[in-house]
Amino acid sequence: MPGLLLIYTGNGKGKTTAALGLSLRALGHGLKVGFLQFMKGSSEYGEVRMASRLPGFELVQCGRDSFVNPTAPDPMDIALAEAGLQFAETWFNKATFNLIVLDEILVACAYGLLSVEEVQNLLAHRPSKTDVVLTGRYAPEKLIQLADTVTVMNERRHAYMRGAQAKAGMEF
Determine the length of the chain: 172
Q: Is the pTM of this model over 0.85?
A: yes
* Cβ burial, residue 96 (10 Å; 0-12/13-18/19+): middle
| Number of other residues whose CB lies within 10 A of the CB of residue 68 | 22
Rounded to whole angstroms, the Cα distance separating 104 from 109 reads 9
Q: How far apart are CA 40 and CA 21, in angstroms?
A: 19
- Judge contact between 27 and 56, C-beta under 8 A: yes
pLDDT tens per residue across span 9-64: 999 999 999 999 999 999 999 999 999 999 999 999 999 999 999 999 999 999 99
For the segment 101-157, what is each residue's pLDDT rounded down to a tens digit?
999 999 999 999 999 999 999 999 999 999 999 999 999 999 999 999 999 999 989
Task: For each of the domains in the chain, give its residue range(s) and CATH number, in order of start.
Answer: 5-154 (3.40.50.300)
